[in-house]
Amino acid sequence: MQYFPLGLIGHDAAAAIVVNGRLVATAAEERFTRHKHGFNLAGRTLLPRRAIQYCLDEARCDWSQVDVVAHYCRFTREGVVARLRRVGAGLPPRLYGILEAEYGAAFCDRLAPTIVREELERIADRPIAPERFDSVPHHLAHAAGAFYSSDVPDALCVTLDGYGEEESALWARGVEGRLEPLGSILLPTSLGALYQIVTTFLGFRTFGDEYKTMGLAAYGDPDRFADVFAEMLSEEADGTWSTAALCRPDLGAWLEDRLGPIERPGTRSARSADVAAALQAATERAVLRLLRCLRERYGATNLCLGGGVALNACLNGRIVQSGMFDRVFVQPAAADDGAALGAALYAHARRDPRGGLEPIGHAFWGPMYSDTQIEDALRQASDVAWGRVPSIEARTAKLLADGGIVGWYQGRMEAGPRALGARSILATPTSAVVRDRINALVKGREPFRPFAPSVTAEDAHRYFHIPDDTAAPFMVVTYPVRERFRSRLEGVVHVDGSARVQVVRQAQAPRYHRLLCEFAALTGLPVLLNTSFNRAGEPIVCTPADAVQCFLRSGLDALVMGDYLIRRRNGAPELR
């Protein structure tokens, strides 16, 4: 049974700082602590002390200069009680008592706004006046992060995730700088929780492996278990859905009875692929139905998406391909690591609704390190040989064209879970052999999961079916690969003929754009395989030292940081 515990509230903690309506910095705590999802060694969530300090440093200010502190949850005692009554309905008294105790302890120890403010005061080492502290409801923070990050002046904003205070989804209207909540879906119904539960049933990690299920879905038959998911995700008359089946006390046994046992948990099999396909199809059907209803109800022609479910790139692809909306914007840090940004943007807009907020424009809002810091990290590593290389983009392109796998570390770190050419592992997109080598030796991940392509903006429409007015800079939407290029781009084309595309513009990522152009000059392809610079189970690298250590522990052929080319001192000969 899904109890919707409060213990995980605060996962993927992050910080952001907005100055005069302009985002200056945002980053997730996990990048600094090197613990995935921001948990500490005991598995508890923490406020993002290191990410906060980074943001202050980037803005060149201290706590005394901060006008407002915003937090992306607003728990109240009454709301916790209401959540408990809905989630715990039908529980036997003993289990209800256990859940009631967990909820009460979580609220009193960590989640009450006064407790959060006191914890932040300890981090700041100074008092924070109550009038300067905003507790922004969780899904409203997601909606604000999507709407105010975009350049869409009038939009329907929809958020979907596991759960916030009491909701699992919210829709709002953003117009002329104002965001008005219109409706929500309350727990225990939760599309995000359903996806998480089925992911766990398939043998993947309980938390954070939903993207594996999405990748597996393309190998399966969605019809085989369609009737089971029609029970678990039933349609409501108002266009929403119900996941009441999650509340049955024998959920695990019921799933195994209806779906059958997963013979090899955590791997691809015919049964696991069919289960994943049915889940993905049910998710897409439910969300598209809701969006159609909301579009008709409110007359919105543009859509902004936030919340963890908005990172489902296949779902986003279906939304774009439906033609339902003129423009679709997906926040690049759509999950909880982007909620701090949403809270900050909402707090600014609430106090200065006419002051305006600048669209974020790109995702490069994390820390950047100087050449001196890069050299210091390299001198600390005895196992590497390195040197500064002129025309580093051309040299790197040659390595990639010759089949090399390169760690690419440039400029400010990306916000969100996708590597977009600042903290990336790159390779040729033309070779299934290279793709499989990355999976096995570099990333240590499941072979059924696809890699994503980066392509220059000038050539994107030649290789991919992308609508003419779609920017696609964040790698959060899948698009069909044009038939004539699918065999040549076999390293980045999924089994269903799609790819999670990043379109690279010279104005947003000049060095990465130059690299793509240099690779095109050698191969005729302005496309690269791009995956995040990390090993399985680790956060994306942040510092130069993180990059060096990941390079040494993985099967990368070379590391490029700034203008520096790095190799193992006694490694393989240089690719030519």
> Dihedral sign, CA of 462, 467, 472, 478?
negative
pLDDT of 32-45, one tens digit each? 999 998 877 656 77
> Dihedral sign, CA of 546, 548, 552, 558?
positive
Residue at 114 is within a domain: no
> Dihedral sign, CA of 465, 470, 471, 476?
negative
Angle between helices 313-322 and 210-217 (to 10 degrees): 50
- Measured between alpha carbons, how far is 557 from 140 in angstroms, rounded to an integer? 44
Position 2 scores a pLDDT of: 66
Domain count, the chain: 2
Residue at 350 is within a domain: no
- Measured between alpha carbons, how far is 565 from 550 in angstroms, rounded to an integer? 15
Position 254 scores a pLDDT of: 94
Residue at 45 is within a domain: no
Position 43 scores a pLDDT of: 67
- According to DSSP, residue 451 is labeled P
For residue 45, what are the β-bridge partners? 39
What beta strand segments (E) does 240-398 contain?
A: 241-242, 302-306, 327-330, 384-388
Q: Quick count: other Cβ atoms within 10 Å of Cβ 92?
A: 9
pLDDT of 182-228, one tens digit each? 999 999 999 999 999 999 999 998 788 999 999 999 999 999 999 99
Position 207 scores a pLDDT of: 80
Residue at 213 is within a domain: yes
Which residues 6+ apart lie within 8 Å of 372 measured at CB? none
Domain-ending residue, one of 281, 305, 330: 330
Query: Which pTM value belongs to this model?
Result: 0.96
| Cβ(514)–Cβ(418) below 8 Å | no
Whether the link from the prior residue into 188 is cis, omega within 30° of 0, is yes
- Measured between alpha carbons, how far is 400 from 408 in angstroms, rounded to an integer? 11
Q: Domain of 490? A: 371-568
Same domain, 550 and 442: yes
Residues identified as active-site = 11
Position 573 scores a pLDDT of: 45
Position 354 scores a pLDDT of: 67
| Cβ(276)–Cβ(210) below 8 Å | no
- Where does 473-567 have alpha helices with state H? 510-523, 544-553
Give exposure, 317-339, as e/b (b: 16+ Cβ within 10 Å). Answer: bbbbeeebbebbbbbbbbbbbbb
Same domain, 303 and 429: no
Same domain, 247 and 382: no
Domain-ending residue, one of 330, 357, 388: 330
Same domain, 277 and 409: no
Return the CATH number at 491: 3.90.870.20
pLDDT of 90-134, one tens digit each? 888 998 999 999 999 999 999 999 999 999 999 999 999 999 999
Position 572 scores a pLDDT of: 43
Same domain, 200 and 272: yes
| Cβ(405)–Cβ(399) below 8 Å | no
Residue at 221 is within a domain: yes
Residue-by-residue pLDDT tens, the chain, 576 positions:
567 888 888 899 999 999 999 999 999 999 999 999 887 765 677 899 999 999 999 999 999 999 999 999 999 999 999 999 999 988 889 989 999 999 999 999 999 999 999 999 999 999 999 999 999 999 999 999 999 999 999 999 999 999 999 999 999 999 989 999 999 999 999 999 999 999 999 999 878 899 999 999 999 999 999 999 999 999 999 999 999 888 888 899 999 999 999 989 999 999 999 999 999 999 999 999 999 999 999 999 999 999 999 999 999 999 999 999 999 999 999 999 999 999 999 999 998 876 679 999 999 999 999 999 999 999 999 899 999 999 999 999 999 999 999 999 999 999 999 999 999 999 999 999 999 999 988 888 889 999 999 999 999 999 999 998 789 999 999 999 999 999 999 999 999 999 999 999 999 999 999 999 999 999 999 999 999 999 988 999 999 999 999 999 999 999 999 999 999 987 644 533
Residue at 380 is within a domain: yes
Residue at 439 is within a domain: yes
The token pair at 247 is 């509340």
| Cβ(483)–Cβ(303) below 8 Å | no
The token pair at 228 is 């089971």
- Measured between alpha carbons, how far is 219 from 44 in angstroms, rounded to an integer? 36
Position 166 scores a pLDDT of: 96
Same domain, 474 and 546: yes
Residue at 235 is within a domain: yes
**Pick from 336, 353, 314, 370: nearest CA to 498:** 314
**Alpha carbon distances (Å) from 39 to 99, 445, 469, 564:** 22, 22, 40, 33
**Which residue shows structure tokens 């329907």?**
156
Same domain, 274 and 405: no
